[in-house]
Every structure is written in C-alpha cells, then in structure tokens.
Amino acid sequence: MSYTICYDRCFIKSGLGITPMWLVGSNNCTERTWGTDGKWHERRERSWNPLFGVDMAVATPDELMAKARSYVPSTYGEHFKRGGKWVDDDGWLRFVENGIKKAVTIEELIAFQRRTAMGCSLVVWEYGQHEWHESSHHELLKTIQTSAEFEEWLRSVQERVKNKAKNEELFLDIGIGTDDPLHCSAPTNEPKGRVVVKYKNNYIVRIDVHSIGYCRRPDDALIFDSIAEAKKSCEGRGLYPLSFVDAEKVLAQLNWKWCVIISSGYRKGQYIEKRTARKITLGLTPKYAKRFPTKAAAEKWIAELRPRYSVEFEAKEIV
C-alpha cells in the first residue's frame, strides 16, 4: 500500500498572501543521503512541494481554507501520515489552519537557516509524443532575500501560469535549502511588554561583546522592555531558534516552592529537573528542579509519572 508521509510544513507569508509548502514523500520510495558521520544512509525520499500546486502559489487565508475544505470528506477518511499517525479530516483542516497561523516571512526563514538568500524557480515539464521530459532549464530563476523580491517573483509565476501551454506542466521550486524538517514557524501570540528570551529551553542570563550565557532556571534571566529590544540584543549571535516569554509569568514562577523528588531506591532524595518523552533528568540540589505553584499541581504531575517508573515520587516544598 502506497501512501504519503508529511515530515514538516512551512507556510510563507508576504503582502500577496500565503505560499503553503510541505515536506512530503512516499512510504515505498527511498533515497541515499550523505550523513554527518561520513557514510551513506538510505531513508524514505522526501522533498518540499507546494501544498496545492502551482495554481495556488499564493492565496489568502480564506482561499486556502476553502481549498482545504474541498478535500473533506476524504475518500478513505484519512489524508496522509504525520508523526507516525494518520491525519483524518479534522486533523487535515487543523494542519492547514495552524500553518496559516504560524506562517513566516522570507526574512524569518532565511535567518532561521542562517543563510543570506534563497533561490526560487519554476520547473517546466513538456508533454512529448510518448513520454514526459523535463525542459533544459528552470524558468524565472531568481535569488531572493526579501519579501518584496518574493512578491515580485510570485507575480511572475502567476503570469506564467496564465500563459501555460496545453502540453506543459508547471511546478514551483522554492529553495528551502534542506530536505530535513525545519520546524520553523512564527509564534501565534507574541507577548506584549517585558519579555525574557529562551534558547533551547534555557533562559538567556548574560549578553556581552564576547558571548551569551544561558541556564535552565529563570532566576537570573535578562528582562527586556520589549520583543524588539530583545531581538536587537540577540541579533547576529547565531542562536536559533529563539523564543520570547512574558517576563511577568516568568517572575511569578520564581515564587513557586514545590518540586518532585524520588522517595525510594538508590536515587532517593534526588530532584527531577525535567522530563522528556523517554527519560527524566535528575539533580542533587533544588536549584534547577522543576517547580510547581502548589502541592496539588506537583502531585498531579507525579500521577502521570508513576505508570512509567518503578520508583516512588514525592512532592516536596523548597524552603
């Protein structure tokens, strides 16, 4: 059985609308890739493609949602696989809706990948008498750095689509730059007012001319008066992705006094610092322990832990 696997999406916004891209491939086709370990590896093939084809190279949010609804209900009740699970009709509509909410600009996409530009073109396939064959060149090849340049290129694409010959098929080639998932998306609700900055779940606590310092606990987190000030201070430091958190909420966490410790076994008395899907990280002091506002909140978290671990846990107040 052949089906589509989605690995990521990247909706690109501009003054003309949104260009929806997704990273997809077939479950029964593979490709060879050169790994960072200096060896060849085989994996399922995938590539970045426009979600709705070249005819919707750019569209308004309402047009995209109308197009998405035209695929509902699906023939088999499922559209594709994502994260190892089938995406049903409701999931498909959320997929498009969330892509619109988290759309990024060309500038944000380029910065996220630490590049200076990206290449875009239109691939033209011509129908021959017996077979399909790709033309010898990509049309409308352009190096793009700004949203204005991207909009100019999209207008050229729309004009070329209108003048498409009957024996031609057109495909967008937007140079995302990698066939690996990006997970690049704009935050849907940026905080207003004072913020702190996080890098890979660590709070930035120091910025000087030579380096940036960060740690897990927010005790010494730098507080900026606005997101604009925070972005300016962190610009050019090579830290991606950064996230911005409401400073007032972070300051409130500093007063949380409850944490979770192991109460049995040879690690008895150690503090839980964080939990991932596969493991928990422990520490000997409460400084970096995961905090909770109340004992009830800590015990609720313990209830989620117990089925997965053989040791006992206990809520403890930090004095």
Position 40 scores a pLDDT of 86
Position 130 scores a pLDDT of 54
Q: Binning pLDDT at 50, 70 and 90, where does residue 275 land?
A: confident
Which residues, including other chains, have CB under 8 Å from residue 279's CB and lie 6 or more apart? none
Rounded to an integer, the average pLDDT of 294-298 is 94
Rounded to an integer, the average pLDDT of 58-71 is 95
Position 218 scores a pLDDT of 83
User: With pLDDT > 90 as the criterion, what percentage of the chain qualifies?
Assistant: 45
pLDDT at 255 over 90: no
Sequence letter at residue 89: D
C-alpha–C-alpha distance, residues 310 and 240, integer Å: 37
Rounded to an integer, the average pLDDT of 129-142 is 66
> In the numeric block, which tokens belong to residue 276?
């991932």
Candidates 218, 229, 225; CA nearest to 193 is 225
Peptide bond into 241 cis (omega under 30): yes
Position 131 scores a pLDDT of 56
Residue 190 is given by DSSP the state P
pLDDT at 44 over 70: yes
C-beta separation of 172 from 160 below 8 A: no
Q: Binning pLDDT at 50, 70 and 90, where does residue 295 land?
A: very high
Position 133 scores a pLDDT of 54
282 strand-pairing partners: 272
Q: Does the predicted model carry a pTM greater than 0.75?
A: no
Candidates 33, 30, 50, 49; CA nearest to 41 is 33
C-alpha–C-alpha distance, residues 22 and 7, integer Å: 8
Find the range with the poorest average confidence among 136-140, 155-159, 180-184: 136-140
